[in-house]
Amino acid sequence: MLSLGGSAVVGFAVGNAEQLGWLDKVAPKGVTTLTLIMVSGVVEMHKRFPDDAFAARVAKAKQVTILNTWIPNLELHGRLASFRARGAVMRELDEFEDGLIERFRNHPVLRGAADLPLEDLQTVLLQRRFLSLASTMAYDLAIDLLTDEQSLRIARVIIREEYPGNTSPGSTPWRREDMKADILALGVPREALVRSRKTLATSACIDTTMELIATAGESKHADVELLTILRFWGEVLVSVEYGELWRRIGPMLGDKSVFYYPHHVHDAKSRPLAAASPLSLTHSGQLGLRLVQLIDSHEARQRFRDTEQAVVAIKSAFYDQFTLAS
């Protein structure tokens, strides 16, 4: 019986012989040679096959080759075909989503953000502040309506990050205070912030968002729709907004920004849905991974598309008020 060390040596030698083509030369005619990979120890035991990590790697790979695999009760070729098909579906959804993102980014107000007069920029940010204040309410409502426990855990973690400073409660500003700090740093007088009120268009945007969340909770695919709203309305498009506005804000705040630039970075769609990974550190990435796992039918995919279109319509209507006023 070979020791573990001997097994490793034999495995290494056989692997090299296969790479050099020697096995084919020494094998009798008509005999197919197989490469035997011998493992010298157990690295980690899993209670289940790591579908998520495997799917992410398969989705990104140009070619997948299975040399020889034996895992009890695992038919890997069938899983591979399933994951490849799923990856193709996710790439279609990515293409659809990226088109919506570009359409939103090209809204006249966002496209022309770099040239906004300071007074107009301040007006946009004061109204945008009300949407930001409503974001925690949106998460609260969605958490009430979600049924998937993993989705709930992700949403809870995200909302709690809005209130940092657990080690010294009350001593750390929450995220909306950071927003106020950036707004004041951009020259908005405190009196103007105090006197600011939601316009009818801003109020309608908030009300329509809450209605969209409430209606999603009644759907057969409630978790898919709710996660789509949280990710697209609350994270991905927020990053797009702040990214475009940063072209005007950046030269004024630079590295002193404590709200707009950090949110532009942290909320961004950092990787496509087809390459969703448990290693993602962004909010959109964490929500996206679970969303990919829940989108398991044609109907679920259609609800994803319809929900994202509704979100873009709501966000665009908010910025329309500034084009109409100009």
Rg, the chain, Cα only:
26
Q: Which residues contact 322 (CB under 8 A, 6 or more apart)?
A: 109, 120, 123, 124
51 inside domain: no
Asked whether residue 250 falls in the same domain as residue 172, the answer is yes
Asked whether residue 184 falls in the same domain as residue 302, the answer is yes
The amino acid sitting at 225 is E
Q: How far apart are CA 173 and CA 163, in angstroms?
A: 8
Predicted confidence (pLDDT) at residue 161 exceeds the cutoff of 60 = yes
Name the residue range of residue 17's domain: 1-45
Q: How far apart are CA 259 and CA 184, in angstroms?
A: 12
Q: How far apart are CA 60 and CA 69, in angstroms?
A: 21
251 inside domain: yes
* pLDDT (tens digit per residue) in 19-44: 555 545 555 554 444 444 444 455 55
- How would residue 172 be classed by pLDDT, with cut points 50, 70 and 90? confident
Asked whether residue 117 falls in the same domain as residue 214, the answer is yes
* pLDDT (tens digit per residue) in 239-290: 999 999 999 999 999 889 998 998 888 788 888 999 888 888 788 999 999 9
Structurally, the chain folds into a number of domains equal to 2
Asked whether residue 13 falls in the same domain as residue 114, the answer is no
Q: How far apart are CA 67 and CA 37, in angstroms?
A: 9
| Residues 127 and 202 sit within 8 Å (Cβ to Cβ) | yes
77 inside domain: no
How far from chain centre, in Å, is Cα 23? 47
276 inside domain: yes
Asked whether residue 186 falls in the same domain as residue 275, the answer is yes
Asked whether residue 258 falls in the same domain as residue 162, the answer is yes
65 inside domain: no
290 inside domain: yes
pTM for the model: 0.74
Asked whether residue 254 falls in the same domain as residue 158, the answer is yes
Asked whether residue 167 falls in the same domain as residue 301, the answer is yes
82 inside domain: no
221 inside domain: yes
* pLDDT (tens digit per residue) in 109-143: 999 999 999 999 999 999 999 999 999 999 999 99
Tokens of 325: 């006023």
| Residues 144 and 209 sit within 8 Å (Cβ to Cβ) | no
Asked whether residue 38 falls in the same domain as residue 117, the answer is no
- We report the CATH number of the domain holding residue 255 as 1.20.910.10
